[in-house]
Amino acid sequence: MFSVTDITPLLLLQARLKQVEQELGRKTVALSEVLEQVEIEKDKLKEKIAANLQAVVLPTIRKLRMTQAPPDYVDLLENHLRELSSSFGLRLAKIPANLSAREVEISSMVQRGFSSKQIASLLGISRQTVEKHRRNIRK
């Protein structure tokens, strides 16, 4: 006695399974590429934060340590910390003119809307010195 079974549906399922496995393999590769890009973006963000800290926040903290902190200076530091992930410090760090630490500090204050008189008062320097730094920054 013989028994005959049609295996065509099984062969079709096997072929479809192979297609799905190949498609899944391609999607896995694509997902790996996306994860790689996320890691790259994460590294860029770390660099951006580090640049902001170096160019904007740390000089302000050093100034606070050396003096009795005026409330405006503390407010400035608070604003820097809030905007830590902004691109301001990174843009300053990339300026080809190589600004001095003082010029970066003054740039930050100007960007926040401080007047030359306020900056001079906070930094304990003359308004004319602030104006000179502002001219150098513009150059």
pLDDT digits (tens, 9 = 90+) for 81-111: 766 656 665 665 555 557 887 888 888 888 8
Q: Which residues contact 99 (CB under 8 A, 6 or more apart)?
A: 92, 107, 136, 137
34: amino acid identity, one letter: V
Res 19 pLDDT > 80: yes
Domains in the chain: how many in total?
A: 1
**48 lies in a domain?**
yes
pLDDT digits (tens, 9 = 90+) for 125-135: 999 999 999 99
**52 lies in a domain?**
yes
CA 92 from chain centre, in angstroms, equals: 13
Task: Determine which helix (DSSP H) or strand (DSSP E) holds 124, and give its type and residue range.
Answer: none
What pLDDT is stored for residue 55 in this prediction?
A: 79
Distance in angstroms (rounded) separating the CA atoms of residues 101 and 54: 9
Least confident of 2-6, 85-89, 118-122: 85-89
Q: 57 with 80: CB under 8 angstroms?
A: yes
**27 lies in a domain?**
yes
The domain of 46 spans: 8-138
**3 lies in a domain?**
no
pLDDT digits (tens, 9 = 90+) for 34-89: 889 988 988 888 888 778 777 777 777 777 777 777 777 777 777 777 666 566 65
Q: 90 with 52: CB under 8 angstroms?
A: yes
Cβ atoms within 10 Å of 60's Cβ, excluding its own: 22
What pLDDT is stored for residue 132 in this prediction?
A: 95
Q: How far is CA 109 from CA 31, 42, 77, 99, in A?
A: 43, 28, 10, 14
Angle at 63 (CA atoms; ends 98, 53), nearest 5 degrees: 55
